């Protein structure tokens, strides 16, 4: 039988080393292209045998899209390319999805919406279910239906010895019950090949993106701050300052300009978003306004995420209930034409329900601050200066917690989990993989 491990000269190797976040070049010693659970067990077993015979400290690194890439991947690492695990099966009666670990949210929700259902996808259609869900997963239905981690019912995974296991809340072995707790928000333990999660009804999905010239920022933020606390729990949104690239998804009038951007969605119809939309439209006339009836594809486009691999460096923080008091000043830090930040957003997560027990299944704050700079536009030092200027503003409303998977391009994320949660998750990872063969999630610090 052929080895599942492809060396640096193979086409599989060349194909796998282009992560969507291109901040850190990847140069793994080997790549294993995974097409099913058997490949996964064989690959891990082979890496264990190789490590034993050579004495090398080899590690396997699962990667579906590389949106969460940032940590170096070098010659003692084996990159497990899971992007071909794309099966999607919807059970409309049970309102569940069973999907491969490389499935993207666009594929999942395209299948789910045929039954009037949606999974708890985030802003970008190209993000995969794994890193997103295992990192908490904060999407456009968050305030009505909670974090994606809380929708996770089961994970079929492989441990450090290459054994197939199933993590459920009522698994016979404690280790599998613990593993599911860690998969729900602590970045995951072991290597997943299939996930099962809940889907949610979207009887009258409405969504849209509104864009204004940045000169309207003070009026828009005065309107936003006055109404955000009164919004119904079915409405989720982000408000941001955006340096608009010359891409067709933006109106030409804004190309090369700075814009204010409201992305907003409600699965239950247009009514509840009405007061916020009215206040914002009255404060200033938008340059473009796509609010209206929506399908899953349109929902996945309202955040206007770049469709290409990007050298993105991110910063993020969970912020408290008083965020509206600092929102205008916070967005202003990125509003100048020379700002090193291409995006600075605030997402509204207040009131999100908690569905199941897990490492991170409830928002630690009512809002998220998120900022991004790109290395093709600014230096690392300039971007860090942009984050520092923002931090001076958000510090008074800080919760002390970082939404780990929003720190684009980082190798590790200290502060993503409370100390006790992080220690418990790290102990579970050690129990699943005592030899440390599987690269630990960067959310574990």
Ligand X SMILES: Cc1cc2nc3c(=O)[nH]c(=O)nc-3n(C[C@H](O)[C@H](O)[C@H](O)COP(=O)(O)OP(=O)(O)OC[C@H]3O[C@@H](n4cnc5c(N)ncnc54)[C@H](O)[C@@H]3O)c2cc1C
216 versus 408: smaller Cβ distance to ligand X: 408
Shortest distance in whole angstroms from residue 129 CB to ligand X: 7
5 versus 195: smaller Cβ distance to ligand X: 195
Shortest distance in whole angstroms from residue 405 CB to ligand X: 4
Shortest distance in whole angstroms from residue 104 CB to ligand X: 8
Shortest distance in whole angstroms from residue 38 CB to ligand X: 15
Q: How far apart are CA 325 and CA 389, in angstroms?
A: 17
Q: Angle at Cα 337 formed by Cα 336 and Cα 341, nearest 5°?
A: 75
201 versus 412: smaller Cβ distance to ligand X: 412
Shortest distance in whole angstroms from residue 154 CB to ligand X: 14
**Which residue lies nearest ligand X, judged by its C-beta?**
131
Chain residues in the site for ligand X (CB under 6 A) = 62-69, 82, 101, 122-124, 127-128, 130-132, 134-139, 187-188, 191-192, 305, 405-406, 441
Q: How many CA atoms lie within 13 A of 95 on its CB side?
A: 11
Shortest distance in whole angstroms from residue 68 CB to ligand X: 3
Query: Which token pair is 251?
Result: 């109106």
118 versus 127: smaller Cβ distance to ligand X: 127
| All residues at 6 or more sequence positions from 222 whose CB lies less than 8 Å from its CB, including other chains | 283, 328
């Amino acid at each position: 039988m052929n080895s599942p491990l492809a060396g640096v000269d193979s086409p599989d190797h060349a194909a796998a080393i282009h992560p969507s976040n291109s901040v850190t070049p990847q140069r793994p010693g080997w790549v294993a292209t995974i097409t099913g659970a058997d490949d996964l067990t064989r690959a891990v077993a082979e890496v264990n045998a190789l490590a034993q015979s050579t004495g090398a400290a080899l590690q396997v690194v699962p990667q579906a899209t590389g949106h969460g890439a940032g940590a170096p991947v070098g010659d003692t690492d084996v990159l497990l390319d899971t992007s071909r695990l794309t099966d999607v099966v919807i059970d409309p009666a049970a309102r569940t999805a069973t999907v491969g670990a490389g499935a993207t949210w666009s594929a999942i929700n395209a299948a789910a919406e045929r039954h009037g259902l949606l999974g708890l996808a985030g802003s970008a259609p190209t993000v995969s279910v794994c890193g997103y869900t295992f990192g908490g997963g904060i999407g456009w239905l968050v305030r009505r239906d909670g974090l994606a981690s809380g929708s996770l019912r089961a994970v079929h995974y492989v441990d450090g010895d290459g054994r197939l296991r199933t993590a459920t809340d009522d698994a016979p072995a404690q280790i599998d019950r613990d593993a599911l707790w860690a998969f729900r928000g602590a970045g995951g333990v072991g290597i997943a090949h299939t996930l099962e999660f809940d889907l949610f009804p979207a009887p009258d999905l409405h969504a849209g993106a509104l864009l204004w010239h940045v000169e309207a920022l003070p009026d828009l933020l005065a309107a936003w701050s006055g109404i955000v606390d009164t919004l119904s729990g079915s409405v989720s949104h982000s408000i941001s300052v955006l340096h608009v690239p010359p891409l067709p998804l933006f109106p030409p009038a804004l190309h090369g300009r700075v814009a204010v951007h409201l992305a907003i969605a409600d699965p239950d119809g247009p009514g509840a978003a009405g007061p916020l939309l009215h206040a914002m439209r009255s404060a200033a006339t938008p340059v473009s306004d796509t609010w209206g009836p929506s399908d899953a594809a349109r929902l996945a486009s309202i955040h206007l995420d770049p469709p290409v691999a990007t050298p993105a460096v991110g910063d993020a923080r969970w912020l408290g209930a008083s965020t509206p008091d600092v929102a205008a000043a916070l967005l202003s830090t990125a509003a100048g034409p020379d700002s090193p930040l291409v995006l600075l957003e605030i997402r509204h997560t207040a009131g999100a329900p908690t569905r199941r027990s897990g490492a991170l299944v409830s928002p630690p704050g009512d809002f998220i601050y998120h900022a991004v700079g790109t290395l093709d536009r600014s230096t690392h030092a300039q971007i860090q200066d942009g984050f520092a200027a923002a931090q001076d503003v958000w510090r008074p409303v800080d919760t002390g917690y970082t939404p780990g998977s929003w720190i684009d391009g980082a190798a590790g994320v200290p502060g993503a989990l409370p100390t006790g949660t992080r220690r418990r998750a790290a102990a579970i990872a050690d129990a699943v993989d005592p030899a440390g063969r599987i690269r630990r999630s960067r959310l574990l610090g």
